[in-house]
Amino acid sequence: MVWWQLVNNAEIAAISSTTALQRERISVSVLKFGGTSVKNLARIQHVAEIVRDRLTAGAKILVVVSAMGDTTDYLLKLGSQCAKSPDRRELDSLLSTGEQISITLLAMTLQELGIRSRSFTASQIGIFTEKVHSKARIVDINSANLNRALEHNDVLVVAGFQGVTADGDITTLGRGGSDTTACALAAAIGADVCDIYTDVDGIYTADPNVIAEARLLKRVSYGEVIEMARLGAQVLHPRAVELARQYKVRMRVRNTFKPDHEGTVIDEGDGENMEIYRSISGVAVDKDQSCVTIMNVPDKPGIAGRIMQALAENNIVIDMIMQAFHPTAGHNNITFTVHVSDLDQTIKTLESIKDDLDASSVISDPDIAKVSLIGAGLAGQSGIAATIFNSFGAAGINIKMIATSEMKLTCVVSAADADRASKIMHSSFGEEE
C-alpha cells in the first residue's frame, strides 16, 4: 500500500502503534491558541503566561498557534494581487509563513520566562499531508521526532494549519486548520487533553452576536460539534473534532482572556442520556454557501455519478444534493450546495461536461444561506420540523431546499433571511439544560 493513501477517507489513517509511547508516562497537554489570542506581542506575552501557569513539574506542553490576527487574510490578499488565480503550491508556501512568525515569537517569549521551549514548522516536526494544496489532509505524524523534541524541551510550539508532502512541498489544511493540527498532534502523542483557546467562553447554542438568547454549553458530544462546525457555526474546524472523536481525544474550548473559566468540554457525551437531558444543542448558520443547478440532464442511470465524479476529481466538496422527481419529463435538474470559494471551479467543471451529458445549462445563486438545527435527539421529533416550517411561513421566509438527517435539520434560505430564520429556529427550542 502506498503509505499516503487515505483509508476510509479518515485523516491520519494510521498513527503508528509504537506511538503510544515508549515515553514513560509523562503527561502532555496540547494547547491551541487562535489568531486573536496571538494578535500582537502583548497577547503573545499573555499566552506565554498561560502556558507557564499550566506547566507542572514533570509535565510537558505542546502549543499550537495560528497566525497573528488577520495575517492569513493579508497574505491571501498579497497573493491575489500578484496573480489572478495564484498557483496553489506557491500560495500554500506563502500562507504558511504566517504561523512561522507566531511560533518563533512565542518560543522566544517562553524562553524569556525561563522555559525550555522551541518552535517547529510542520516540516521540521514531520506533519505529513496528502499532495493537495489549500485543503490537504494529514496522513502521518512523525511521533519519534515529537518525542525527541519533548525530551529536550518542556514546551514545543508547533505551527498550526500547515503540513508537508512526502516530496517536501508545503501544504495547508484549509482555513481554520490549526484546530486540526492541534487534535492530530494530541492524537499522535496520546495527550491527556486538547484545549482550544479562543476569544469566547466556549460553544454556544447559537452565535451570541446574532442571537442574544444563545446559551453556553457546558458539555457537548463530538457528533453534535461536528455537525455544528460543518453547518457553519464558527466553532471549530470539523476535521479537528472528527480526529478527536476517532482517537478519543478529550477537547475543551476555553477563553484565552478568562483562563479560569471552564469553557465547554467536548467528549463522547452521555450516550443514551444525552437525548434525555437535551434533544437540541444549537443553531448554525452558514452564509458562505451557494447553490448550483445543472439543468435538464437526461433521467437515466449513471448521470449523477458522472457529475459527482467530475467534481470529486477537482476536490470540490458538495452538499445537499437534490434531484426532483419528474415522472414524465425524461429530464432532471440536479441542484446542490457548494462553498462560495469553490463556486467558480464548480461552474467551470460542470460547463466542461455539460455537452457530454446532454444537459441544457448550469445556473447558480451565490446569495443563499444554510440555517440548521442540530441535536442528538432530533431524529425522534417530527413535530419540530412542522413548528419551524410554519414559523418560517408566518414570517414570509421562503425555504429553497430542505435536508434532514439524524442529527440535523437544514434549510436553505436567501442570505437576506438568514439571521431572521436562525432566530426563529433558536426560539423553537426552550431552555433545556
* Site residues, Mg ion (CB under 5 A): 35, 66
Closest CB 175 distance from Mg ion, rounded Å: 7
Closest CA to 242 of 223, 228, 267: 223
Q: Positive or negative CA dihedral for 124, 165, 194, 246?
A: negative
**Using CB distances below 5 to 8 A depending on partner kind, what does residue 177 bind out of Mg ion, ligand ASP, none?**
ligand ASP
DSSP three-state, residue 363: strand
**Using CB distances below 5 to 8 A depending on partner kind, what does residue 269 bind out of ligand ASP, Mg ion, none?**
none
Closer to Mg ion at the Cβ: 35 or 190?
35
- Residues at the interface with ligand ASP (CB under 6 A): 34-35, 66-67, 72, 98, 160-161, 175-178
Strands (E), 111-151: 117-120, 127-129, 138-141
Closer to ligand ASP at the Cβ: 100 or 145?
100
Closest CB 132 distance from ligand ASP, rounded Å: 16
Closest CB 11 distance from ligand ASP, rounded Å: 15
**Using CB distances below 5 to 8 A depending on partner kind, what does residue 364 bind out of Mg ion, ligand ASP, none?**
none
Q: CA 174, 179, 183 angle in degrees (round to 5)?
A: 120
Closest CA to 359 of 367, 351, 368, 371: 351
**Using CB distances below 5 to 8 A depending on partner kind, what does residue 160 bind out of Mg ion, ligand ASP, none?**
ligand ASP
Which residues, at least 6 apart from 31, have a Cβ–Cβ distance to it below 8 Å? 50, 51, 54, 61, 62, 63, 64, 182, 195, 197
Closest CB 92 distance from Mg ion, rounded Å: 15
364 - beta bridge partners?
292
Closer to ligand ASP at the Cβ: 38 or 107?
38
Closer to ligand ASP at the Cβ: 175 or 250?
175
* CA dist., res. 120 & res. 135, Å (int): 21
Closer to ligand ASP at the Cβ: 159 or 188?
159
Closest CB 199 distance from ligand ASP, rounded Å: 12
Calculate the alpha carbon distances from 128 to 4, 151, 166, 304, 386 in Å: 9, 22, 7, 34, 47
Closest CB 178 distance from ligand ASP, rounded Å: 3
Closer to Mg ion at the Cβ: 33 or 204?
33
**Using CB distances below 5 to 8 A depending on partner kind, what does residue 161 bind out of ligand ASP, Mg ion, none?**
ligand ASP
Total length of the chain: 433
